[in-house]
Every structure is written in C-alpha cells, then in structure tokens.
Amino acid sequence: MRGMNGKYPKGPSHRLAPRMQHIQPFHVMDLLARARALEAAGREIIQLQIGEPDFPTPEPVRERAARVLQQDPIHYTPALGLPVLRAAIARHYAEAEGVEVAPERIVVTPGSSAGLQLVLAALVGRDDNVLMGDPGYPCNSNFVHLFEGRVIAVPTRPEDGFQPTPALLEQHADAGARVLLLASPANPTGSVLGEAALRALIDWAESRGIVVVMDEIYRGLFHGSDRPPTALTCSDELFVVNSFSKYYGMTGWRVGWVVAPEWAVEPLDRLAQNMYLSAPTLAQQAALAAFEPETLEILEQRRAEFTRRRDFLLPKLEALGFRIPVVPDGAFYLYADCSRFSRDSSRFVLDLLEQAGVAITPGRDFGTHRADTFVRFACTRPVPVLKKAVECIAEHLANPGR
Ligand SMILES: Cc1ncc(COP(=O)(O)O)c(C=O)c1O
C-alpha cells in the first residue's frame, strides 16, 4: 500500500526474484499521483499525459454488455477466446483490411498487454535478444526482462519517423537476436510505417530467422483517408498484436487479440490456459458490438476528432518553440523536442505541472535515446481544453521561474 507521501514502503528486496531489478515503473505514475494531489488541493490540472481516449465506450458496446449481463451465466470461454468473436475479428480483417485471416489464427487476450506477454513468453528464452526501437512503448522492455531475455534498444532517427530501419537493425543486431518488436502507429511518436518500409523490415528480419512481433493497437487511429497497411499483408509468419482499447474506446474492458502464425496457435493456447484461462467473458461479448455499423460510425467521428486535435495542437506547440520532428500519421500523441526550454525533460515536465497546471509525459518513460530533450503530449482532451493548456504553457514559458 502506498504511504501518505505517495511512496511505497521499502521491503526486503532479497526476497524478490533477480529479474525484478530490471522491471521499471511508469515514471508518469508519480506525475499522475502529484497531479491528483494538486487537484485534491483545489488546483485545476489539464491532464495530457494519459494514453487513453477521453471518450466513453460506444453506446452499442455498453448496451450489448448490459443485455448479456442479464442473460448470460458469464462463465470462462475457451482460452483462445469466444469462437464468434474470433470469427468476427477475421471478418473484420477481410472486410475492412482486405486480408484473409483464418479465425483459427486469432487468439483473444485480456488486452494487448496480455497478448504481448503471451507472444513473448512463447518466443523469448533466457538471454535471447529482442530488438526494439528507442523511443518506444515502455512495457516492452519490461516484458522481455520478465522472460529473462535481453533488450537491444535501437536508437531511431526523426528522419526515419523514429522507426527502426534495416540499416539501423543491421548495426545493432547480433547472432543472438530472436525477435524484432515493431509498432505502427507507434507510441510515443504516432509515426506510421508505410508499406515499403514495413516490407523492408519484415524481409530483413525473416531472412535472418528473426520473428517479427508487430503492435498494431493504434491501427484504427490513422489521420487522413489512407488506412496504413497491416503487417499481415506482408507475411503470415509474424505475430500481430491488437486491442479493443484505443480505437474502439474499450481500455477498461481488457480485451484484445493476437493474429499468430498457424504453428504458434497451439503453444499460445497452452500458455493462455495456464496464464489467465480466458479473457474476460463479458468484455468479449461486448466487443462483438464493436464491429457493428453504428459503432463504427461513432468511432470514425472520434477518429476525425483526434485529427482535429492534432491539427490544432501541433502548430500551437511549434509556435511556442517546441519542435515536432515527426508529424504523426496515427494514434493521438505528439512527441515534442523541448530542448529550447530545457535539457532535462523530467524537470521540465514537473515544473510545467507545478507552475502551469499541465501534465505531460517525459521522454524517459519511452527509453533513453534523446529522452532528456523530448516530451509527449496526448491529445486526449477536447480542443477548448487544449487551447487552455497552450495558454497556460505559454504563460509559464514567458515566466519560467514564477
Ligand atoms: C503501443 C502500445 N501497446 C500496447 C498497449 C497496451 O494496451 P492494452 O493492454 O490496453 O491493449 C499500449 C497502451 O497504452 C500501447 O501504447
């Protein structure tokens, strides 16, 4: 239990497994705790640090859940998921993405977090190397440590959209490399891999016997009219991890999925049976309504709203003096260089919270490469709130030591 000062008491660390030394907390959680304390003390805080859409779960999904709750005994489902949901996800790939995926290859998981753990548990052994871009989603390296693998963080460049390239991977990979973790759209940059870049990365990995695990959790959230390609258009031998959390507005329901190569379904089934038995039954039932036309209509309006927010906030931040080297093509983040104001983004973020009442995430939550000069803004508040945030930040930057 956290003490009154928001810190956990220190325990006897020798009782913990050695791997626990490598498991990092989200630094932004301390910031969240501080933001809540300031709010409790009566301050108005604009929270742009949370990677969660501010919209409620769409009504048709909630209605379906309410109906099911009345009628269904809510027992476990098969470990691989409700067969009707696996079929619905396969249909979605065929209809929305133009890719044929057999329902048997779809594994429903408790969020993509469990999907990533399931896949990495199946692929990563002690001292196996896992390649991933830096900056990237922070949990990935912790998952690798959980399975006693080694992380090879590949520093990426703005000119490549902060995505790994075959040339960068070639520089960093060694003979022990077993897995390449990719994400598109990515967190924290919102950058999207185009078809040629995606294909080149997959070809590079597959020609070296390295298995690709592709995180497509932000997939529905692209800006503009061209849906970016799913990695499934390039290969059937990779793992795609996806979720109902972000595009479908179902973060708290904890339901996602993995598309696995045929040979991997049985091992994933075995692991899922042992690790969590099944994803939450009510959430799986509710997710069936996520693909209905009336839900998709709501979700598409929200996607357009995220684009409006990006288009509002990006030029405003640049006018203040932030540099945003990669214009995001997806997700709802802006990864901004704050070096004009500070070379210690963690300190900068704390000052911004205390003095301007705006909470954002420091770069060190996403890795070490250029982390001290970058911060992430999540466009998870409506435009009038973003406008207020910009005014507060402008005032703070004009009087930093206030
Ligand atoms: C890139 C990425 N992958 C995976 C996740 C995990 O999401 P969930 O477990 O809700 O599907 C997140 C959450 O923020 C994320 O940003």
Give per-residue pLDDT as tens, 161-196. Answer: 999 999 999 999 988 899 999 999 999 999 999 999
- Cα 112 to averaged position of ligand 1 atoms, centre (Å): 6
- Cα 42 to averaged position of ligand 1 atoms, centre (Å): 31
The topology (CATH level 3) of 59-294 is: Aspartate Aminotransferase; domain 2 (3.40.640)
Low-confidence ranges of the chain (pLDDT < 50): none
Contact 364, 315 (CB under 8 A): no
- Cα 34 to averaged position of ligand 1 atoms, centre (Å): 23
* DSSP string for 125-183: -TT-EEEEEES--THHHHHHHHTT-EEEEEE--GGGTT---HHHHHHH--TTEEEEEEE
Strand 374-378 and strand 333-337: the pairing is antiparallel
**Which pLDDT does position 30 carry in this prediction?**
84
- Cα 113 to averaged position of ligand 1 atoms, centre (Å): 6
Give per-residue pLDDT as tens, 320-334. Answer: 999 999 999 999 999
Q: Is the Cβ atom of 136 under 6 angstroms away from ligand 1?
A: no
Pocket perturbation via mutation, ligand 1, pick of 245, 255, 257 by most ligand atoms within 8 A of CB: 245
- Cα 114 to averaged position of ligand 1 atoms, centre (Å): 10
Strand 129-134 and strand 177-183: the pairing is parallel
364: CB partners within 8 A, 6+ apart? 27, 345, 346, 371, 372
- Cα 187 to averaged position of ligand 1 atoms, centre (Å): 9
Ligand 1 atom with the shortest distance to the CA of 136? 1
Q: Is the Cβ atom of 115 under 6 angstroms away from ligand 1?
A: no
Phi, psi of 247 (to 5 degrees): -60, -40
CATH code given to domain 13-56+296-396: 3.90.1150.10
Q: Is the Cβ atom of 111 under 6 angstroms away from ligand 1?
A: yes
Which residue lies with its CA nearest to atom 16 of ligand 1? 187
Ligand 1 atom with the shortest distance to the CA of 113? 9
**Which pLDDT does position 152 carry in this prediction?**
97
Q: Is the Cβ atom of 183 under 6 angstroms away from ligand 1?
A: yes
Domains 13-56+296-396 and 59-294 share a fold: no
Prediction pTM value: 0.95
Q: Is the Cβ atom of 281 under 6 angstroms away from ligand 1?
A: no
**Which pLDDT does position 225 carry in this prediction?**
85
Q: Is the Cβ atom of 49 under 6 angstroms away from ligand 1?
A: no
**Which pLDDT does position 50 carry in this prediction?**
87
- Cα 52 to averaged position of ligand 1 atoms, centre (Å): 9
Domain map (residue ranges) of the chain: 13-56+296-396, 59-294
**What gap in Å lies between CA 319 and CA 336, rounded to an integer?**
12
Ligand 1 atom with the shortest distance to the CA of 186? 1
Tokens linked to 218: 């932000």
Ligand 1 atom with the shortest distance to the CA of 254? 10
